[in-house]
Amino acid sequence: MTAQIIDGKAVAEQLRAELKSKVADLKTKDILPGLAVVLVGDDPASRSYVTAKGRACDEIGLYSDNRCLPELTAQEDLISLVEEFNHDPRIHGILVQLPLPKHIDEGPVVLAIDPAKDVDGFHPVNVGKMVIGQECFLPCTPHGILQLLLRSGVQIEGAEVVVVGRSNIVGKPIANMLIQKSLTGNATVTVCHTRTHNLADHVRRADIIIAAAGRPNTITADMVKEGAVVIDVGVNRVEDATRKRGYRLVGDVDFDSVKEKASLITPVPGGVGPMTITMLLYNTVQSAMRAAGLEA
Ligand code: NAP
């Protein structure tokens, strides 16, 4: 069997088109969803994420306010800016780009964000609501994975899912979402990590594999059941002298061999990646609708 490729770029474009038309509709009701993005320091990767977020807002017609603060910004000043956005009625979503410089403690900064504007879904109030199945902002990468599965027609209910990785931003939340007693959940989920014995034995049982380890070739063909759905979240740089920049990006899955056994597979790049910013836009639109008392 050769897998069908899940085209994350195409799914993200479709979702953005839906959001664009929702935003146009909201504008007729005098509602303009707004996103604030705060970057501290000069990390080139973070800067390019922030630029991409601003462009994505423009593309679907959102208001955006991007602030770039110097590397040596004091924690209190960053928190004051967050509080300013908490009270700004033009802003429905606040995102502080992580990681922050070492002298700033991430915890208090995330706690300072009004949970009603926490479109990253990292505030403990939103995390708690997600775990107990209440309405909340779902974190963007795992929400993007869920949308890829749903929009590819993958049967989640009753499926054996193996998630490789237990981080707070990918592994734990996607596992939580998929075990919810809901139409988009009802899976049986195993979460693996570096202390898991016999990773291959777990992965081999999976109808759906979600690889979020951050290590190339963590999932090889011998670990994959014939016909499994494979979602590769990993983004890893490997040296490649044939490329101008000296490296290429690969996922956690040995794509070339695994695609011969899977039924569906996401590529890297072009799989999960394009969904993350799209779900941020989705959450911002949802937030503006909730603030206006509309059904989100
Ligand atoms: P992380 O915080 O480094 O967590 C990695 C997890 O994988 C940890 O739980 C670790 O276990 C586990 N792990 C690592 N090697 C393993 C192995 N050989 N066997 C089993 N488990 C293993 O990473 P993350 O933030 O979740 O990100 C994971 C990957 O996804 C990275 O490549 C990242 O760049 C990518 N990512 C992509 C997007 C996107 O938008 N496309 C968004 C977020 C992340 P321990 O807990 O035991 O250490």
Residues 53 and 35: their CA atoms lie apart, in Å, by 9
The preferred substitution site among 49, 195, 235 for testing ligand 1, maximizing ligand atoms within 8 Å of CB, is 235
Question: Residue 75: which CATH number?
Answer: 3.40.50.10860
> For residue 151, what pLDDT band results from cuts at 50, 70 and 90?
very high
Q: Note whether 96 and 146 are same-domain residues.
A: no
Ligand 1 neighbours, Cβ below 6 Å, are: 141, 164-167, 169-171, 192-196, 199, 212-215, 218, 233-236, 272-273, 276
Contact 138, 185 (CB under 8 A): no
pTM, rounded to two decimals: 0.97
Q: Number of H helices and number of E strands within the chain?
A: 10, 11
> For residue 296, what pLDDT band results from cuts at 50, 70 and 90?
confident
Q: Note whether 80 and 147 are same-domain residues.
A: no
> For residue 295, what pLDDT band results from cuts at 50, 70 and 90?
confident
What pLDDT score was predicted for residue 273? Answer: 95
What pLDDT score was predicted for residue 54? Answer: 93
Residue 296 lies in a domain: no
Task: Work out the percent of the chain whose per-residue pLDDT is above 90.
Answer: 97
Contact 98, 113 (CB under 8 A): no
Residue 2 lies in a domain: no
E strand or H helix at 136, and its extent? none
Residue 98 lies in a domain: yes
What pLDDT score was predicted for residue 149? Answer: 98
Contact 266, 286 (CB under 8 A): no
List pLDDT tens digits, range 202-258.
Answer: 999 999 999 999 999 999 999 999 999 999 999 999 999 999 999 999 999 999 999
Q: Note whether 154 and 210 are same-domain residues.
A: yes
Residue 11 lies in a domain: no
Residue 196 lies in a domain: yes
**φ and ψ of 36, to 5 deg:** -105, 130
List pLDDT tens digits, range 263-286.
Answer: 999 999 999 999 999 999 999 999
What pLDDT score was predicted for residue 175? Answer: 98
Atom number, ligand 1, closest to the C-alpha of residue 276: 40
Alpha-helical runs (H) found in the chain: 8-27, 44-60, 75-86, 106-112, 124-131, 140-151, 171-179, 199-204, 255-258, 273-291
Please report, for residues 81, 87, 117, 139, 183, the alpha-carbon distance to residue 143 in angstroms, rounded to integers and kept in the order given: 27, 27, 17, 6, 14
- Rounded to a whole number of angstroms, the distance between the first and last alpha carbons of the chain is 40
The preferred substitution site among 11, 120, 166 for testing ligand 1, maximizing ligand atoms within 8 Å of CB, is 166
**Measured on CA atoms in the order 165, 169, 172, 175, is the torsion positive or negative?**
negative
Number of domains in the chain: 2
> For residue 45, what pLDDT band results from cuts at 50, 70 and 90?
confident
Q: Note whether 68 and 177 are same-domain residues.
A: no
What residues contact 217, with CB distance under 8 A and at least 6 apart?
Answer: 252, 253, 254
Q: Is 153 exposed, middle or buried (0-12, 13-18, 19+ CB in 10 A)?
A: exposed
Choose one of 70, 100, 115: the last residue of a domain: 115
List pLDDT tens digits, range 50-75.
Answer: 999 999 999 999 999 999 999 999 99
Residue 131 lies in a domain: no
Amino acid of residue 79: I
Q: Worst-scoring range by mean pLDDT, 46-50, 137-141, 155-159, 264-268? A: 46-50
Q: Note whether 98 and 155 are same-domain residues.
A: no
Q: Note whether 270 and 186 are same-domain residues.
A: yes
Question: Residue 263: which CATH number?
Answer: 3.40.50.720
**Closest C-alpha to ligand 1, atom 42:** 141
What pLDDT score was predicted for residue 198? Answer: 97
Q: Note whether 91 and 191 are same-domain residues.
A: no
Q: Note whether 43 and 85 are same-domain residues.
A: yes
Is residue 193's pLDDT more than 90? Answer: yes
Active site residue 53: yes
Enclosing domain of residue 237: 140-274
Q: Which candidate, 141, 217, 149, places its Cα nearest to that of 172?
A: 141
Q: Note whether 151 and 258 are same-domain residues.
A: yes
Active site residue 259: no
Active site residue 97: yes
Residue 147 lies in a domain: yes
* Average pLDDT over every residue of 141-166: 98
Amino acid of residue 156: I
Choose one of 75, 98, 115: the last residue of a domain: 115
Is residue 163's pLDDT more than 80? Answer: yes
Please report, for residues 30, 64, 112, 177, the alpha-carbon distance to residue 134 in angstroms, rounded to integers and kept in the order given: 29, 28, 21, 11
Contact 231, 271 (CB under 8 A): yes
Choose one of 71, 98, 115: the last residue of a domain: 115
Q: Note whether 105 and 179 are same-domain residues.
A: no
Q: Note whether 246 and 169 are same-domain residues.
A: yes
Q: Note whether 107 and 145 are same-domain residues.
A: no
Residue 133 lies in a domain: no
List pLDDT tens digits, range 105-124.
Answer: 999 999 999 999 999 999 99
What pLDDT score was predicted for residue 190? Answer: 98
What pLDDT score was predicted for residue 275? Answer: 97
